Structure 1
């Protein structure tokens, strides 16, 4: 995310061809010792951990083509667990801590049985759940349990670099001119440059990477495995839509859980039959939900999480609060398998068995 924000801040002043110097990074970087995972995509990461994957293409109603990856189960009769990443992230984020530290692989090894779909979202992936499940009852009926890691709904108290997005609302036209009107695709060579030149564990600039990461996710990244830090960086900023970035800017500016604002009363009327974007009434959501929040999460501030708890309280199964967790610890933290994955898997297993789960806050 910080590379996205840095990219936005300098793009006006750099000849686009200037990024060409980064295109040599991939071949140059291979001359020094770089973990090959830096260059792997999701199917390759899955295969490297001993699993088989499938790739599916899904075309949305508005013309976007999405890649969905499936980790094939080792045995039959497994439940379906859908994992949704956050803004400028990708499926890679779930796969970066090897076989015994990555949620998809642990799910494959431990969860048995088959019923309805489990949904696990991280960051914007949780926001998509709150919006979608509250406004689409048919979709909600297909979800047996919603696990929200770093839950995002109302964004009133976000701080750090992400909060700067709210100032881009007034520059919507400029953003479309800079980023294009459909897909924003940060240069992958920039990510590799950070991963292989600036962020290796033995680099003198490693502290810069840690500081920039902290300005987005929350300070204290001591829970990361620093030997894998270049891999995290290489898979950091991925493609998204320009509209998605602008919608985030609107949510940050207006502090409401609302649909996209098309910028004028007429445009909103044409789209929504009203002059302002409709609000998502997430109080209507009736999907059993587990919230996993962190006290050091700069995007999912505890005050916004408390508002969320009050708003969807009847749907909450459990709230897990981990005091020192920043925005990425839920997936990348060295203790995430024990503190996050294990209790979530236990709740899923109890759902599969039809056990009644008492609402708890821990």
Structure 2
């Protein structure tokens, strides 16, 4: 159990003990938290498959330096003749998520081969986005953020960069946390002037009914808060502190740690076991402990609100009110083209939470909202499923063509 926990990925992996002993905790050379390797995602993941790829750097208004990759043409060499698409990954992973399966199964490559100008975002704290204009990841201040800052800074910086580089409005695809930050930004009327449509896979807005035993155990036990207040600012899934956290969770008799992927994500129907090994060569990756605390607050409270600092006084200092402001999903413009795809087996994007979201979108223009339900899909199937190209990505591209 202990060896397994030390290489646990709390969102998308299983049977880690079998491969953990031969994994490098970081597949790239890192000094002061900054990658030194010259071969970034383009060289390691895209060009090896025969695609042209560009590496870009994007600086947020609060000083974080993010990596971004562009695949400007398909493997045939024909330049993109369709609009740009921005791909935004989920929690504890980076943009490699969209490239791990073979090209005919990976959304990043599929879009490029279908004529789209593909842009891949990587949020702050991930392996290739650990730069900052004045801080290093060794500074506690570097990790003083939650997904509020991804809404306020990372997502707008990525949108502006793609828009400035291409001169076009873009389509957006988010998975998991990538959907939450998009919903929240759209609810504040942000980014809409640069957006054609948005496809949200495993949509997360409300988390109050999440059935994932391990995630709920961690949230209910306030364990992430313990790490935060003890001064662990970086939530590193491969680190000793997180391993100890997970060990404590697994002591709960109601938590099954013998099948971690099912406990966290639900029973994925269609993920090839070889993809897990490839996944572990690159993931999981760090996030801020404060970000994990914020998600735990959502699970416990069932609300979509900004980070709760734990007291009326602190909230007043940050927000000018005693409680954190809410993100109002009903404020998402009714004419914004949305494609939502969710799964019946997903333990993180639970069907009841998705229904709560859909209820808030009940007045959305009928011709601008497509909702797809896959009874057999769990959380990881939407990005790693061997049949996702047929059952999710083809309908997604058909939706793009309409907008």
8 Å contact from structure 2 (residues 224, 292) kept in 1: no
Alignment of 1:1-362 (within 5 A): 25-26=23-24, 42-43=41-42, 44-73=44-73, 74-111=78-115, 115-135=168-188, 137-160=189-212, 161-169=214-222, 172-177=225-230, 179-180=232-233, 183-187=234-238, 211-219=259-267, 221-286=268-333, 287-313=336-362, 314=364, 316-351=368-403
1:69 CA drift (Å): 1.7
- 1:24/1:222 Cα in 2 relative to 1: closer, same or farther (>3 Å)? closer
SS of equivalent to 1:148: strand
- Give the alignment's TM-score, normalised by structure 2: 0.69
1:202 aligns to what? none
In the alignment, structure 2 segments of 5+ residues that lack a partner are 11-19, 26-38, 118-165, 241-255
- Give the alignment's TM-score, normalised by structure 1: 0.76
- 1:4/1:279 Cα in 2 relative to 1: closer, same or farther (>3 Å)? farther
> How large is the Cα RMSD of the aligned pairs?
3.0
- 1:325/1:25 Cα in 2 relative to 1: closer, same or farther (>3 Å)? closer
Count how many residue pairs are aligned between Structure 1 and Structure 2. 304
Paired with 1:274 and 1:170, the residues of 2 have a C-alpha distance of: 27
8 Å contact from structure 1 (residues 225, 334) kept in 2: yes
2:252 aligns to what? none
Task: Flag the structure with higher helix content.
Answer: 1
In the alignment, structure 1 segments of 5+ residues that lack a partner are 9-21, 28-39, 190-207, 352-362
- 1:264/1:128 Cα in 2 relative to 1: closer, same or farther (>3 Å)? same
Paired with 1:259 and 1:157, the residues of 2 have a C-alpha distance of: 19
1:166 CA drift (Å): 1.5
Deviates more, 1:314-323 or 1:248-257: 314-323
SS of equivalent to 1:152: coil
1:358 aligns to what? none
Paired with 1:133 and 1:349, the residues of 2 have a C-alpha distance of: 21
8 Å contact from structure 1 (residues 42, 95) kept in 2: no
1:26 CA drift (Å): 4.0
Paired with 2:181 and 2:5, the residues of 1 have a C-alpha distance of: 23
1:108 CA drift (Å): 0.6
